[in-house]
Amino acid sequence: QSLADVTVNDISQRYKMQEELGAGAQATVYKGLSRKNNQKVAIKVLDAKELEDDELYDALRMEITLLRQLRHPHIVNLHEVVRTPDRIYIIQECLGGGELFEQLLAKGPFKEDYALAIFAQIVLAVDYMHGLDVVHRDLKAENLVFSAKGSPAIKFIDFGGACTWTPDEGLVGLVGTPQYVAPEVVTGFGEVDPTEKPYGKECDMWSMGVLLYVMLSKTMPFRAKEVDQLLKQVVKGKFSFKPEERWRHISQDARDLISKLIVLDPQKRFSVAQVKEHPWCSDAVSKCAASMPKLSEAATKKDKKDAKGGGGLGFGLFRLGSRAGKTPKGQEKPIIPRDGATPGNSSRDGGGGGAAAIPKRFKTGTDGYASREQQFWYAMEISPPSNMQQQGGVKIGTDGKFQMDNVSEEMRAILEDIERKKQGAAGGASNSVTAGGLGAPPPPPPPPP
């Protein structure tokens, strides 16, 4: 089956290409305008030669298949896929409100009622996906984007790690983001023997618990300077509500729900159905569902044509193994690169980005990349606030700005970019995106030939 909905000689016949929003290993994303109705879109551009690799082709096919199937108010909308003789263009809605992560940096931790309003939307989207046996596998603040500036409506993006689940086979393979990844995904790490046991939808529920923890405290339940130390904590599953000053005003119900989600045993972890009934969020979820447009019959049907396989082009993922959800023989244990980097990670490029953005990557070592969100959480653990002189230390001053001693150029660039975005978001800066942060956009690049 062809990936494309439409084949043309030149993309300019259907869309006007505008400025670049971001770039990844296999794709570049541009802002664009539809020639037909002048609608703003995000256009992901891939070289057709990349798809001569069978694995990449299968990955892209799965991602497109899932995006065509998923039609929900809180999931990014795929418009169409266009093919030219030498490129593939994936056309998605352009979301202009910025990432949840960026808002968390500028305004977090969130008040409980605001976090609840966001969480209710996430619950409904996950409930919809799980009802169709789709598992996202990379649920995090960077992969949730507000529809428009000032709008509370939020949408899931980046289905590069998503796949369909079947009870017969389950899912295997190390996919996700270290700070959010469920322990059953990280099998065979540290002192924990590999189980080689498939996992399921429960991995998304763990990530939901971590995200709720983050929104309410602007801290992580599992904290470490490097990915290997972090994953050793994850597989043990022990966390606490600290620092106390961040949790003093958070309700017991909110803490209880987090404690029901961040549970080591997947079978004892709350399902999305149980979350919907929990006292902390049941009313909010019901009200959010009541205000949501009714889903079409087609949008709620499981697609049996592609029941196996999974994972698309996982630009933002910490991944081991094939995108078909199978771990290659001889690679059952996670491969942890030096410097805390994680293979194949990337981040969104700011408020004006949009759903389909494959953003600029920050290189953190010779072995890979880590997303801006990952780098932020690692940076917070590098140095205690009282120790400015520690090698590689990072401290947040009383003015809220990063103060750095002996920080590498790569880390300094990341933290400066985060600081610019914080200032832009806090000051109501333009939605435009540059490689360095929020501000005036660069001149539009020439459209792809």
- Specify the higher pLDDT residue, 434 or 44: 44
- Given CA atoms 242, 244, 247, 251 in this order, what sign does their dihedral have? positive
Mean pLDDT of 130-144: 94
- For tokens 């929003």, the residue is 21
Q: Do 82 and 121 share a domain, yes or no?
A: no
- Specify the higher pLDDT residue, 344 or 411: 411
Q: Do 107 and 181 share a domain, yes or no?
A: yes
- Specify the higher pLDDT residue, 246 or 62: 246
Band of residue 442 on the pLDDT scale cut at 50, 70, 90: very low
Q: Do 207 and 263 share a domain, yes or no?
A: yes
Last residue of a domain, one of 306, 335, 357: 306
For position 48, which CATH number holds? 3.30.200.20
User: How far lies 286's CA from each of 151, 204, 208, 209, in Å?
Assistant: 20, 21, 18, 19
Q: Specify the 3-state DSSP secondary structure of 412.
A: helix
Note the pLDDT of residue 303. Answer: 60
**Do the domain assignments include residue 279?**
yes
Note the pLDDT of residue 348. Answer: 35
Hey, which residues are catalytic here? 138
Give the integer Cα–Cα distance in Å for 43 and 445: 14
Q: Is the peptide bond before 109 cis (omega within 30 degrees of 0)?
A: yes
Residues 182 and 203 sit within 8 Å (Cβ to Cβ):
yes
Q: Which residue type occupies 290?
A: A
Residues 21 and 350 sit within 8 Å (Cβ to Cβ):
no
**Do the domain assignments include residue 318?**
no
**Do the domain assignments include residue 342?**
no
Q: Do 294 and 208 share a domain, yes or no?
A: yes
Mean pLDDT of 426-443: 38
Note the pLDDT of residue 51. Answer: 82
Mean pLDDT of 349-357: 34
Give the integer Cα–Cα distance in Å for 168 and 152: 39
Q: Do 114 and 218 share a domain, yes or no?
A: yes
Residues 186 and 237 sit within 8 Å (Cβ to Cβ):
no
Kindly tell me if the per-residue pLDDT of 422 is higher than 50: yes
Q: Do 260 and 134 share a domain, yes or no?
A: yes
Note the pLDDT of residue 366. Answer: 29
For position 294, which CATH number holds? 1.10.510.10
Q: Do 52 and 137 share a domain, yes or no?
A: no
Q: Do 207 and 291 share a domain, yes or no?
A: yes
Q: Do 90 and 107 share a domain, yes or no?
A: no
**Do the domain assignments include residue 219?**
yes
Q: Do 170 and 110 share a domain, yes or no?
A: yes
Note the pLDDT of residue 384. Answer: 40
Kindly tell me if the per-residue pLDDT of 65 is higher than 80: yes
Torsion angle, alpha carbons of 75, 349, 357, 96, to 10: 50
- Specify the higher pLDDT residue, 21 or 90: 90
Kindly tell me if the per-residue pLDDT of 92 is higher than 70: yes
Q: Which range (18-22, 121-125, 360-364) has the least confidence?
A: 360-364
- Given CA atoms 269, 271, 277, 281 in this order, what sign does their dihedral have? positive
Q: What is the pLDDT of residues 317-344, one digit of tens each?
A: 344 333 333 333 333 333 222 233 333 3
Q: Give how many domains the chain has, as a whole number.
A: 3
**Do the domain assignments include residue 438?**
no
Note the pLDDT of residue 377. Answer: 83
Q: What is the pLDDT of residues 256-301, one digit of tens each?
A: 999 999 999 999 999 999 999 999 999 999 999 999 887 766 666 6
Give the integer Cα–Cα distance in Å for 161 and 323: 8
Give the integer Cα–Cα distance in Å for 401 and 448: 39
Q: Specify the 3-state DSSP secondary structure of 376.
A: helix
Last residue of a domain, one of 266, 284, 306: 306
Band of residue 403 on the pLDDT scale cut at 50, 70, 90: low
Range of the domain at 399: 383-428
**Do the domain assignments include residue 441?**
no
**Do the domain assignments include residue 66?**
yes
Give the integer Cα–Cα distance in Å for 142 and 138: 9
Kindly tell me if the per-residue pLDDT of 139 is higher than 70: yes
Q: Specify the 3-state DSSP secondary structure of 4.
A: coil
**Do the domain assignments include residue 332?**
no
Note the pLDDT of residue 115. Answer: 97
pTM, full prediction: 0.73
Q: Do 80 and 220 share a domain, yes or no?
A: no
Q: Do 61 and 113 share a domain, yes or no?
A: no
In the chain, pLDDT over 90 holds for what percent of residues? 45
User: How far lies 96's CA from each of 31, 145, 356, 419, 432, in Å?
Assistant: 11, 8, 11, 20, 9
Instruction: Tell me, rounded to whole angstroms, the distance of Cα 434 from its chain centroid.
Output: 20
Note the pLDDT of residue 278. Answer: 98
Residues shown for the chain: 449
Note the pLDDT of residue 401. Answer: 57
Kindly tell me if the per-residue pLDDT of 74 is higher than 60: yes
Give the integer Cα–Cα distance in Å for 205 and 272: 7
- Specify the higher pLDDT residue, 160 or 166: 166
